[in-house]
Amino acid sequence: MAAGAETLTPFVYWGQKTDHVSLKIDLKDVVNPKVDLTEDGLKFEADGTGIRGHNLYQLDIDFYHPVDPDKSRYRVLDRCVDFYIQKTGSGEVWPRLTNQKIKYPWLKIDFDKVAYEDESESEAEEQKSAEDVMKQLEKELQLDSADAPDLPDLKTVYLFVYNLFQFVGFTFISFTLLVNFFKNKEKAMSSGFNLVGNPFMVCQTAAIMEILHPVLGLVKSSAITPLLQVLGRNFILFVVILHEENTQTAPLVFFLLLTWSSIEVFRYPFYMLAVLNKKIYAVTWMRYTLWIPLYPLGLFLEGKQLCKSGWKMKHEKK
């Protein structure tokens, strides 16, 4: 089919018997159809609603063999334009509709209107032709399905979005802390919680889902490790730091928040790739190498924060 760059072509479903070809042009609400059916081909143009919405659609087909336009007919229906095209000659089954052996993405097989080699053949020959046709149909379906993208399931989408949300959140927190530290070291260390306290609490609240993921079967891991990590970190954040305003301005809190967020910046990209069954060496390396100094450092700072808060509470009672 010869068509300009802006030409819209509708889906066409075709089938055949030994004496005629059936065409169904998949257009709704067709207006002003222009049909030029000759022995060698069909030219069609009409306004209608198709795969690209309501537009002008055009079609230009060169047939595999000549047809008889005088004995052919068509009708405009609400949901399509239906053609009955009479074959000429001895009534053989066409191997394809078009003259050129090209796979057109808009041309489909009409499963209800498929002919066999010779409907007057013996039963064995007819069954063989039927098998050939089914193989051809299977091939068409494989080609069509190969063009369709594989869509991820709901679980994959959710896990990817969750990890992406956490990655963006902790990246923002780390970036904010570091930028303010290099601008004004003393002020940044005393205002760390004031700068990123709210987004940090949002991310840590969302992290509770990591306890539920293995329970719900979304990930294949134990719920004990995230339970200890999330609840321990949330206790320090929401109970110790949030309720003791005097500790929020301490440099210890600044370095604790920076260490926590740095751990997650390298952890969540690894999980995002794992959800998609992808692996990038650099991300895997950072996930398991930077973990070695950051996790012990985080545990040390958490312990120091607990000890400091406990000492303050004891001192205030006295």
| Domain coordinates in residue numbering, the chain | 1-111, 154-292
> Using one digit for the tens of pLDDT, what is the confidence trace for 26-66?
999 898 899 999 999 999 999 998 888 888 999 999 998 89
Q: What is the mean pLDDT of the chain?
A: 84
CA distance 215 to 220: 9
> Using one digit for the tens of pLDDT, what is the confidence trace for 222-280?
899 899 999 999 999 999 999 888 888 999 999 999 999 999 999 999 999 988 888 89
**Residue-level pLDDT at 309:** 75
CA distance 267 to 280: 13
φ/ψ of 310, rounded to 5, equals -65, -40
Give the right CATH number for 1-111 from 1.10.150.20, 3.60.15.10, 2.60.40.790, 2.40.128.260.
2.60.40.790
Coil vs helix vs strand at 216: coil
CA distance 151 to 276: 12
Under the banding of pLDDT at 50, 70 and 90, the label for residue 4 is: very low
With tokens 């959800």, the residue in question is 275
φ/ψ of 299, rounded to 5, equals -65, -40
Query: Comparing 30-44, 85-99, 122-136, 184-198, which segment has the lowest mean pLDDT?
Result: 122-136
Bridge partners of 50, per DSSP, are: 53
Provide, rounded to the nearest whole percent, the portion of the chain with pLDDT above 70. Answer: 82
**Pairs from 137-144 (Cβ < 8 Å, separation ≥ 24):** 137/109, 137/111, 140/108, 140/109, 143/103, 144/108
Collect all residues with Cβ–Cβ distance below 8 Å to 107 and sequence separation of at least 6. Answer: 12, 14, 97, 98
Residue 295: HSE in the Cβ half-sphere, 13 Å Cα cutoff: 10
Q: What is the DSSP letter of 200?
A: H
> Using one digit for the tens of pLDDT, what is the confidence trace for 169-182?
999 999 999 999 99
Go through the chain and tell me how many residues it has: 318
CA distance 201 to 246: 18
- Look up the pTM and report it: 0.53
CA distance 20 to 68: 9
> Using one digit for the tens of pLDDT, what is the confidence trace for 133-163?
666 666 655 555 545 555 678 999 999 999 9
**Residues designated as active site:** 295, 302
pLDDT of 207 higher than 60: yes
